[in-house]
Amino acid sequence: MTNIKLLFFLLMAILVSSSCKEDKKVTKEQKALLVIDMQNDFCNGGYDFCNGGSLQVGENPDRVIPLINEEIKSDKYGIVVFSKDWHPQDHVSFASNHSGHKVFETITLEDGTSQTLWPDHCVQDSVGAEFHKDLAVPEGSFVVKKGKNKLYDSYSAFQDNNAKEPTELLAYLKSKNIKEVTVVGLALDYCVYWTCKDAVKNKFKVSLLVKCTEAVAKNTGDDAIADMKKLGVNVVLN
């Protein structure tokens, strides 16, 4: 009789455990696609009047647009969120605002922060800050604008690089009860990478679709992928 009771309790424990696992299953409505910085200045064919943006990412960033559009139009996600760099003209990351320094130099700011200097890009209300004309942005989409404060750079769609100023993204995802995010866009080794890291910190299940990204440079892209794997990001290579 004792053995029968023990077997009964074991079976009940298994059923309860299975039930808990089912409860934790993420539904489509709890999944979000994050499309990072698909703007003219990072692309190579978004303009009608020239062949590339001021900070073109890699050799052919436009190749990812049809792949990202497939994800946007798929039935995999409850919501799709877009981010934009949205810099004032006097932004701290622009080499043009640092006399005697050149593009791609790294300097130390007054607060001790290390800052890479970039060409002017994604200036507020400029053509370069607009989404690429071929990107499928549904009407009424939620758009996170980052890097608005001239004193701080902001690679992540969640917050600035000093973690001093959060964007609206985390609050918006929580308001929609999002549990899992899939990240695509530009650039793999900067804004996509930092967004994935912050998504992990904020306890989301995170996937990266590598085919839907492009890196500024192969070595930094490879390093970013390796680090994201260590952090627990589900890195989908194909």
Strand partners, 181: 32, 206
- Strand 79-85 relative to strand 142-146, pairing: parallel
Residue appearing with tokens 């499928």: 136
Catalytic residue among 43, 122, 191, 196: 191
Give the whole-angstrom CA distance, residue 50 versus residue 48. Answer: 6
- 212: annotated active-site residue: no
| Measured distance between the N- and C-terminal CA atoms of the chain, rounded to whole angstroms | 55
* Nearest alpha-carbon partner for 71 in 228, 213, 193: 213
Catalytic residue among 31, 37, 122, 145: 37
Q: How far is CA 187 from the centre of its chain?
A: 9
Determine contact, residues 81/145, Cβ cutoff 8 Å.
Answer: no
- 196: annotated active-site residue: no
- 37: annotated active-site residue: yes
Catalytic residue among 146, 196, 197, 212: 146
- Active site residue ranges: 37, 146, 191
